[in-house]
Structure 1
Amino acid sequence: MKNNRDIGDKYEEKATAILISNNYKILERNYRVKAGEIDIIAEKNGIIVFVEVKYRKTLKFGSGLEAVDYKKIKRIYNAARVYLTLKNKLYSKIRFDCISFLGEKVTWTKNLAWGDEIGF
């Protein structure tokens, strides 16, 4: 039986492949800092995209997108601020996306949240 990390890795690989096939450059995977964690950081056309990847086998506990709540978005946003600061890219165009899987069905939600929506 696979553990949750193995399953997460599998779907992060799938999400990475989707991004690459859509001409995104992968900048980081599993970016972790004290402020939070970002599954994938990608770039296309000068826009840095912070991507949360979620997998659900069924809807029993809600969709993957529903799991990206205020608390999770805030942690992603804080980690993104650290990344942008350390990479000297604070004035870059950015976007927050979620690639969620329900079984093998893929949903790519772009512009998941804006800083002003979460109190920044």
Structure 2
Amino acid sequence: MDNKKIGALGERRAVEFLKRNNYNILAVNYRCRQGEIDIIARQGNTLIFIEVKTRSSLKFGMGMEAVNYVKQQKIKKVAMNFLSEKRTVFTDLRFDVIDIMIKDRDTAEITHIKNAF
């Protein structure tokens, strides 16, 4: 399976996981000039920007390790664009990372890091 298919599978698994855990999905693959955020969700009065990192092996490390300072700053800029575009008020904002290790087509290990940065 190529990297795009692995990434798409991981994002689908992340959305399913979030829905099972009472998150309201507002956007998937939100794009603007500054970049992209994989998932934007709401839980109560909290707006959550979620980066999904999917791996099929540890050859290049865990997915969450790829969300470095530069990536975090880019996600924050995209989040600011989303907030100004939607003009929606939320009590709290949060940035999460969902790390997914694909074992096989039917099995995945999901780690949800809340307030990752």
TM-score normalised by the chain length of structure 1: 0.87
State yes or no: 1:33 paired with 2:32. yes
Root-mean-square deviation (CA, aligned residues, Å) is 1.3
Which of the two has greater strand per residue? 2
Gaps of 5+ in 2: 103-107
Instruction: Give the whole-Å Cα distance in 2 for the aligned partners of 1:78 and 1:28.
Output: 16
Q: When the two structures are aligned, how many residues end up with a matched partner?
A: 112
* Kept in 2: contact 1:81–1:90 (CA 8 A): no
* Aligned twin of 2:49: 50
Letter in 2 for 1:98: V
State yes or no: 1:108 paired with 2:102. no
* Aligned twin of 1:76: 75
Following superposition, the deviation at residue 25 of structure 1 comes to 0.5
**Superposed structure 1 runs of 4+ greater than 6 Å apart:** none
- Shifted more, 13-22 versus 81-90: the winner is 81-90
Identical columns (%)? 42
The alignment partner of 1:111 has SS state of coil
TM-score normalised by the chain length of structure 2: 0.89
Instruction: Give the whole-Å Cα distance in 1 for the aligned partners of 2:55 and 2:48.
Output: 22
Q: Deviations over 1:57-102 (max 9, x none)?
A: 2222110010000111111110000001111136641100011112
